[in-house]
Amino acid sequence: MQKKNSLVFVLVILVVTLACGQGNTAPLEASGGSDSEVTDTAESPTATAEPTPIVHVLIPDELPEKQSGVIGDQDSSITADDKRAPSGDRFTFGRYERPFNANTMDVYYPALDIQGALFYEDDTWLYAQIKFKNNDSSYVLNGKYGFEIDLDIDGGGDWLILVSEPSLEGWSTNGVEVWFDSNNDVGGVKTMYSDNTFTEGNGYETLVFGTSQGDDPDLAWGRISPQDPYAVEVAVKRSILEGDASFMVGVWAGTDDLNPALFDFNDHYTHEQAGTSLIEFEYFYPIKELSELDNTCRMAIGFQPTGNEPGLCPLPPKPGQDPPASGGCPPEYTVCFNFGNQVVCYCIQP
């Protein structure tokens, strides 16, 4: 076991990402939904061969004013010049902080470096807004982004919602996928933690919405935030919860290695294969087969967590309570997140 790590943060949100298999350099074809336009021209005398256009009935609008949760995540830009992450990459515990290329780690991807996330709910939708590092004005958000829902709060995810190459032009179903773990094997024998032996599980195997679209053409949507060009927003109908109002949410960003079939990654790779972005773990450093990937701790939605929920983020201070970082935390270990006019600080001292 390595020495104890400290993570940190706080809460919330979802996001999702999509998985369409391409890397983040090649433009993705719209594989998900279907914002097809119908052009009726005079030259189409018959209507027999035309596919039925998708008619969207319910489209998300603006996010609700008040979030249900907030999460922060490590900022790898601060150590990117050293080809390492500052902290937050703990393969054994299912936590990743590796917005870098494999093996050399000499390319840092700000568009994959989650800084924080917010989660929102209303009667129809669940929304995640995922915020990325904005230190490079030239990049585009062309990865896969999304969120994972653990419905029964056992540490194993149940739903995974992803958007690939989110649209700059408003809500779109293009590139959006909704995955479900029908046989409940995500997480393997020991949820959240690496299993002792490789899993034979099939991860998220059921594509409920995406290339082979299901019954509801409006089930899930993605876009780049109209207010923040460094934030991705993902929405899915809350009907997928089938009435369950208490669950855990974690956020993901990645490229090819963010493969729904390989959840949980730490049951499908060994630590040696996956590597680590933390130079302190010299036996495993650098990242190898599992790269260009970031995720967060999980926030509790719809219930008051006890602190023992699998993957739970450090709990935020209660109203009127000093944030933990103010209680003797050295300044270099104090990390604060800005969410609108709300500032939440945590101590990440090891």
**Single residue of 12, 33, 72, 113 touching Ca ion by CB under 5 A:** 113
List residues bridging with 254 in a β-sheet: 144, 293
Distance CA(261)–CA(180), nearest Å, equals 10
Which of 14, 224, 28, 209 lies closest to 111, judged by CA?
224
**Is residue 195 a contact residue for Ca ion (CB under 5 A)?**
yes
- Among the candidate windows 54-62, 66-74, 224-232, 322-330, which touches Ca ion by CB under 5 A? 66-74
Q: Are 178 and 209 in contact (CB under 8 A)?
A: yes
Q: Least Å distance between CB 201 and Ca ion?
A: 6
Distance CA 97, CA 146 (A): 15
Which one-letter DSSP state was computed for residue 340? T
116 is a site residue for Ca ion (CB under 5 A): no
Q: Contact with Ca ion (CB under 5 A): which of 174, 267, 297, 312?
A: 267
Is residue 87 part of the contact set for Ca ion (CB under 5 A)?
no
- Contacting Ca ion (CB under 5 A), which of 183, 211, 239, 338? 183
> CA dihedral defined by 296, 239, 174, 223, rounded to 10 degrees?
-50
Binding residue (CB under 5 A) for Ca ion from 22, 31, 74, 142:
74
**Under the criterion CB under 5 A, does residue 121 sit at the interface with Ca ion?**
no
- Of 13-21, 134-142, 180-188, 321-329, the segment contacting Ca ion by CB under 5 A is 180-188
Kindly determine how many residues on this chain lie close enough to bind Ca ion according to the rule CB under 5 A. Answer: 17
Question: Which residue's CB is nearer to Ca ion, number 60 or number 210?
Answer: 210
Per-residue DSSP letter, 98: E
Per CB under 5 A, 188 contacts Ca ion: yes
Q: What is the dihedral of CA 33, 12, 344, 133, to 10 degrees?
A: -30
Which residue number has the CB closest to Ca ion? 188
Decide if residue 292 touches Ca ion (CB under 5 A). Answer: no
Q: Which of 92, 101, 202, 246 binds Ca ion (CB under 5 A)?
A: 202
- Which one of 16, 32, 73, 100 is in contact with Ca ion (CB under 5 A)? 73
Using CA atoms, how far apart are residues 342 and 328, in angstroms rounded to an integer? 22
CB-CB contact of 43 with 161 (8 Å): no
DSSP 5: -
In the list 294, 314, 325, 347, the residue contacting Ca ion (rule: CB under 5 A) is 294
Binding mask 131-170 toward Ca ion (x if CB under 5 A, else -) reads: ----------------------------------------
Residue 282 CB neighbour total at 10 angstroms: 9
Supply the minimum distance, in Å, between the C-beta of residue 6 and Ca ion.
13
Calpha distance 103→7 (Å, rounded): 24
Which of 69, 88, 110, 316 binds Ca ion (CB under 5 A)? It is 88
Q: For residues 205 and 309, which CB has a smaller minimum distance to Ca ion in the complex?
A: 205
161 token code pair: 């919602």
- Here the tokens at position 83 are 């080809």
Rounded-to-integer distance, Cα 95 and Cα 109, Å: 18
Among 148, 150, 181, 233, binds Ca ion (CB under 5 A): 181
User: SS3 of 338, please?
Assistant: strand
185 binds Ca ion (CB under 5 A): yes
Which residues contact Ca ion (rule: CB under 5 A)?
73-74, 88, 97, 113-114, 181, 183, 185, 187-188, 190, 195, 202, 205, 267, 294
